[in-house]
Structure 1
């Protein structure tokens, strides 16, 4: 949900080669945030209302070969340890993404989506104007990464290799994710495939996504998790947008996940709401939550943001809430 708010571009010429473009972009945020949680025993944990400041800087590079291939790379310096990991640790992407593209499609490696994630339209992104602390997409019921990057039982380290190809309204992708190199017991490679289709109905765009993924091998699992997901979203000419996702998990503590999202934009004002629920397998807890986001564009690059998230974890028997959490943020996103 981070938006580009500051940009500076430089052109670098190479002898005998096409020009390359290097851009510096970023986002600055300031405001307040708060996070609270309540345990089954009624114990309240709160960090109180605090000031919120954040700066996100991204370097983006692009170029073109003599025969028309395009290539590029980006590194997000907001990622933890990004500078050292992206430049010195060859087994950690450090927030970096590298791609090359041509008539064969696009090959991307690094901090990017797996094919299932690429194909799905995340309900939490439908008409979402974003918030300072991403409250609306970090609640307990939110599912935004499926099995990518050590999520839901995967041993993957988050470095992904993906090929995707788009022709008109149709797109297809295949991806691989290596195991976590920090654990020698984890072996093998996870894989995913994704398909998507965009249907234009005279001002209404309907997007369909379908995909399957097997997680990278995790030595802690007898059988590695798998996920099959489908999504449908629509954007209407009147500013309304809506989306739904359904994911069936197997060989996991999770049985299924359902996500719903709604968004509406009119003039300078945007609002978004989403709901998600993980249904646990027998003997495991259900987890659900919802998120809200609203924004008002003041013009000239200044946007007022509000975000709220709430999540509940229910015990395996389904008789009591064992954890409840809430987060909130409010403030300004500034562009220059």
Structure 2
């Protein structure tokens, strides 16, 4: 009994110290069921030969614990950091490991680590209703405005300055190997009330290294070769091979620019429009063009109910002439109170190519249903 009392007293004392130092602990959990083409598995027959792709329903569980630390210097400079428990073990000096740090004074702020570049920070993502496995943002045609973020190690430094309703952003992401030039970004955003409507406008630009963009095609080809090489023996349709290649590969853009518009009303409606263009390095033997992306989202909230619908389209994706992806997503939340929310989502994409000597297509869908818990 004395040991229990002592331990409890020590825990309370420690919690008081943590609170005084500006340390907060928060958490979230998700549980449910997911399925669709996103979770498809390769089937084989009795002798191990290919027997088709099959969508698999799976149980979903996820838990995250986040530590948020903040403080203030004598001169009014505020500072802080945050890290998720499951990512902290991966952190080192040149890899943020999912952690972020900030310094702020007045309208000026510096963020470093696992944070958005200037392009993403200025744009508004068309995803206001959540799902347990990000169904509404992980479908193949969706563009989350990440721009060139993560083309290197994902550790980003971003400076921002806010004045009234306007905010400006500058960012840089560096290649730890020293082989490629840094990725620089700039962005501007406005958020204010105009005529009783909540208006948001964002514009962003990022520029990377042309050599990295060119080399990314070779890396993508190697990824395709590995993915196809890992397939079991058997007979595959051209569509199945195209889907395997598409899911395994990608390319890094040399530069990207975009604009974002959002409009909200006091009765729960919000509309978002994103448009961006990306340029890729020229590669001999490929028919290439400017990649364009359009995303439209409509969202409605009334009391405990939230609904979202988005439509997305890529033209000449990865700079490849004729590669297109379009799709839509539906999401629903019902807030039960106390941090418990019912979440459901469905998304569908169509991917096709008619260029570079290929004419194929495939479709993909995924769904999720479950509970989200925040603590």
Structures share fold, TM-score greater than 0.5: yes
The offset of 1:220, in angstroms, is 5.5
The offset of 1:191, in angstroms, is 0.3
Report what 1:304 is aligned to.
Answer: 342
Report what 1:277 is aligned to.
Answer: 313
1:199 maps onto 2:192 in alignment: yes
Instruction: Name the SS of the counterpart of 1:117 in structure 2.
Output: helix
Instruction: Name the SS of the counterpart of 1:161 in structure 2.
Output: strand
Distance 1:33 1:172, change over 3 A: same
Distance 1:11 1:228, change over 3 A: farther
Distance 1:298 1:313, change over 3 A: same
Report what 1:243 is aligned to.
Answer: 272
Report what 1:211 is aligned to.
Answer: 204
- C-alpha separation in 1, matches of 2:107 and 2:163: 11
5 Å-filtered alignment, 1:1-336, equals 10=15, 12=17, 20-36=21-37, 45-78=53-86, 82-86=87-91, 89-103=92-106, 105-123=108-126, 125=127, 128-144=128-144, 145-150=146-151, 156-179=152-175, 181=176, 183=177, 186-216=179-209, 218-219=211-212, 221=214, 225-251=254-280, 255-280=291-316, 281=319, 283-317=321-355, 322-336=361-375
The offset of 1:212, in angstroms, is 0.8
Supply the RMSD in Å over aligned alpha carbons.
Answer: 2.6
The answer to whether the 8 A contact 1:109-1:161 is kept is: yes
Distance 1:289 1:13, change over 3 A: closer
The answer to whether the 8 A contact 1:178-1:216 is kept is: no
TM-score (norm: length of structure 1): 0.84
The offset of 1:85, in angstroms, is 1.8
Distance 1:44 1:102, change over 3 A: farther
From the CA coordinates, give the structure whose radius of gyration is larger: 2
- Specify every segment of 5 or more residues in structure 2 that has no aligned partner in the other structure, as ranges: 1-13, 41-50, 216-251, 282-287
Instruction: Name the SS of the counterpart of 1:116 in structure 2.
Output: helix
Instruction: Name the SS of the counterpart of 1:141 in structure 2.
Output: coil
Distance 1:97 1:273, change over 3 A: same
- Specify every segment of 5 or more residues in structure 1 that has no aligned partner in the other structure, as ranges: 1-8, 151-155
The offset of 1:44, in angstroms, is 5.5
The offset of 1:55, in angstroms, is 0.4
Instruction: Name the SS of the counterpart of 2:354 in structure 1.
Output: coil
- C-alpha separation in 2, matches of 1:142 and 1:298: 29
The offset of 1:103, in angstroms, is 3.0
- C-alpha separation in 2, matches of 1:282 and 1:201: 40
Distance 1:157 1:117, change over 3 A: same
Report the number of matched residues: 305
Distance 1:325 1:247, change over 3 A: same
